[in-house]
Amino acid sequence: AQSVTQLDSQVPVFEEAPVELRCNYSSSVSVYLFWYVQYPNQGLQLLLKYLSGSTLVKGINGFEAEFNKSQTSFHLRKPSVHISDTAEYFCAVTVMFSGGYNKLIFGAGTRLAVHP
């Protein structure tokens, strides 16, 4: 069965420091990978996605992620975080089924807390 593991439930970091949020997935079929961000009391917003092509994907707000097929990972990085990046981040994988149907499987989330 497909699954997504976010290795850290909470990541505290100081402002302007770099951050990496780790995500591993398990799947024996082709996948599409996503990172979503959820600010307090809001819905989910897409940060970036990997469908195909370059394994380094750039998203909004200065975030980027690298797809590593051999390690089945899709870690999210930002070189310098801001207070406004404090939020919960979800890694997700779309798994395709026969007939073109797909499902999105989410990790449990990583809460990023940026401190001044």
Residue 31, both tokens? 């996948």
User: How close are the terminal C-alpha atoms of the chain, in Å?
Assistant: 41
What is residue 51's DSSP assignment?
A: -
- Separation between Cα atoms, residue 60 and residue 73, nearest integer Å: 20
Residue whose structure tokens are 């394994």:
55
Q: Convert residues 36-65 into a mask of x (bound to another protein by CB under 8 A) and - (unbound).
A: x-----xxxxx--x-x--------------
Q: Convert residues 68-107 into a mask of x (bound to another protein by CB under 8 A) and - (unbound).
A: ----------------------x---x-----xxxxx-xx
List residues near another protein by CB under 8 A: 4, 9, 32, 34, 36, 42-46, 49, 51, 90, 94, 100-104, 106-109
